[in-house]
Chains A and B, each alone.
Chain A
Amino acid sequence: MNPHEPELHLLMLKSNSGDEAAYRTLLQKLSGLFRRFFRQKLYGRDDAAAEDLVQETLLAIHLNRRRYDPGRPFTAWVYAIARYKLMDHFRRKPAGREFVPVDDVVGLFSEETADQTDFGRDIEVLLAQLPEKQGSAIQLVKLDHLSIREASVKLSISEADVKVSIHRGLKKLMSLVSKEKSS
């Protein structure tokens, strides 16, 4: 079993029962592991792309979190998604393609890279491409840190509508990010 498994599995269980702090810790730990993994797989030549992959993978995990089966190893689940994102990256940019073994779970959990350089894209540009309701819902709740209720008052739509808009918006964002990378 992967040495990270007990800790991460527990964090994931807590996260899926709505524990915000546990979820934050989990995503932080994962982003360190992902960063190290993707940089290594890209031979340290493209740290910006590696950082994009980190973010895409985190987003994918977030959007798929209810599909995680608690009875199965969490590290393997996460590695499968990270590898999927990596293969996707290579499909879009065939140069530098290399063999990634399907069961190299250890490779993802080898050693963390502590410091992080920000090569992020401008979120505002992406948000502007979303339908207005989704864009403003994400802007208000996720960036301006309003509550769902406050956002629903501000946008004069129902709270459920705000939640759905955020969810759909995040999904759309993810497809925009991948489209942008392939072009």
Chain B
Amino acid sequence: MKTDDLVSELSRGVSAVRPVRPRLRLSAAAAAGLVASVVLLFLIFGTRADFSQAGAHIVLKGFYGLAAAAAATPFLLEVSRPSTSARHGFWPIGVFAVLNILIGLLVLAATPPEVRLHAWTGDRFPECLYRIPLLALPIAVALTFAVRGLGATRLTLAGSAIGGVSGSLAAIVYASCCPADSVLYVLSWYLASVLLCAGAGAILLSRALKW
């Protein structure tokens, strides 16, 4: 078929289209995923034993997840569509990472050396490393379906953005069952969990995003 013929065929009787609204689409998916994630939390882990007394800690940790999600969202909005300027959506993530490291170092310096290890690990294996990715799963699935309809052209970046955003949102959910409350713990292990999600997204989701 000649290209000119294709042009005539495609343009023949073309109708007005109602533009897709990526923000709405992605928020709806994220909301649906969050609900599923909360259900998953109650089914598998439950909330922490002293849930009613730990309100302030839970809210603060929730804010960490919220901030991470807010930082990753512009990047997701950029790379979920045909995009040539992924850099432009990346700076909030950079700011977040720098702040995370800076505050982490400051708190580390302010912590007496003999309690540093305790503050850092909470004296046990950091379970958020697998719990946050698990809770991120339903969010990532929902976001992947939403992004599939938007025509991403940089699939690895889009996959990592989905992973990062869903990991951040999952951190909000996870905050209500996480027993470790130290700032050092959150700044290192929550960050590691979200990065883990982003890495897994980059590897696993790029295939699912192909069109």
The residue of chain B having its C-beta at the shortest distance from the C-beta of A105 within the complex is: B84
- CB-based contact A79/B2 at 8 Å: no
Give the distance in Å from the alpha carbon of A60 to the alpha carbon of B211 in the complex. 9
Give the distance in Å from the alpha carbon of A120 to the alpha carbon of B82 in the complex. 26
A-B contact count (CB 8 A): 108
- CB-based contact A118/B12 at 8 Å: no
The reply on A83 being an interface residue by CB < 8 A is yes
The reply on B9 being an interface residue by CB < 8 A is yes
- CB-based contact A120/B1 at 8 Å: yes
Contact indicator per residue, chain A 3-34, by CB within 8 Å of chain B (1) or not (0): 00000000000011111100110011001000
- CB-based contact A68/B14 at 8 Å: no
Which residues on the B side are within 8 Å of A148 (C-beta)? Answer: 13
Complex partner residue of B6 from A55, A68, A103, A122, CB under 8 angstroms: A55
- CB-based contact B153/A83 at 8 Å: yes
Tally A residues with Cβ within 8 Å of B.
Answer: 49
Give the distance in Å from the alpha carbon of A118 to the alpha carbon of B8 in the complex. 15
- CB-based contact B9/A69 at 8 Å: no
Q: Check A80/B82 contact, CB under 8 A, given A58-B7, A68-B19.
A: yes
- CB-based contact A16/B3 at 8 Å: no
Task: Give the secondary structure class of B's interface.
Answer: loop
Which residues on the A side are within 8 Å of B8 (C-beta)? Answer: 24
Q: Check A67/B2 contact, CB under 8 A, given A20-B14, A23-B14, A143-B9.
A: no
B98 to chain A, nearest CB (A): 24
- CB-based contact A67/B151 at 8 Å: yes
Give the distance in Å from the alpha carbon of A27 to the alpha carbon of B83 in the complex. 20
The reply on B57 being an interface residue by CB < 8 A is no
- CB-based contact B3/A51 at 8 Å: yes
- CB-based contact B3/A120 at 8 Å: yes
A94-128 contacts to B (CB < 8 Å): 102-103, 105, 116, 118, 120-123
- CB-based contact A59/B84 at 8 Å: no
Q: Check A76/B85 contact, CB under 8 A, given A20-B12, A55-B6.
A: yes
The reply on A65 being an interface residue by CB < 8 A is yes
Contact-size category for B: 20 to 34
- CB-based contact A16/B1 at 8 Å: no
The reply on A44 being an interface residue by CB < 8 A is no
Which residues on the A side are within 8 Å of B15 (C-beta)? Answer: 18
The reply on B81 being an interface residue by CB < 8 A is yes
- CB-based contact B16/A120 at 8 Å: no
Which residues on the A side are within 8 Å of B9 (C-beta)? Answer: 142-143
Which residues on the B side are within 8 Å of A81 (C-beta)? Answer: 82, 151, 153
- CB-based contact A16/B17 at 8 Å: yes
Give the distance in Å from the alpha carbon of A105 to the alpha carbon of B153 in the complex. 14
B160 to chain A, nearest CB (A): 15
The reply on A131 being an interface residue by CB < 8 A is no
Give the distance in Å from the alpha carbon of A148 to the alpha carbon of B14 in the complex. 12
The reply on B162 being an interface residue by CB < 8 A is no
A117 to chain B, nearest CB (A): 10
Using a CB–CB distance below 8 Å, which chain B residues touch chain A? 1-4, 6-20, 22, 81-86, 149-151, 153-154
28 contacts between A and B (CB under 8 A): A18-B14, A18-B15, A20-B11, A23-B10, A24-B8, A27-B10, A27-B11, A28-B4, A28-B7, A31-B7, A58-B3, A58-B7, A59-B6, A64-B82, A64-B151, A66-B18, A67-B19, A67-B20, A69-B81, A78-B82, A80-B81, A80-B82, A81-B151, A102-B154, A103-B85, A123-B1, A143-B9, A145-B12
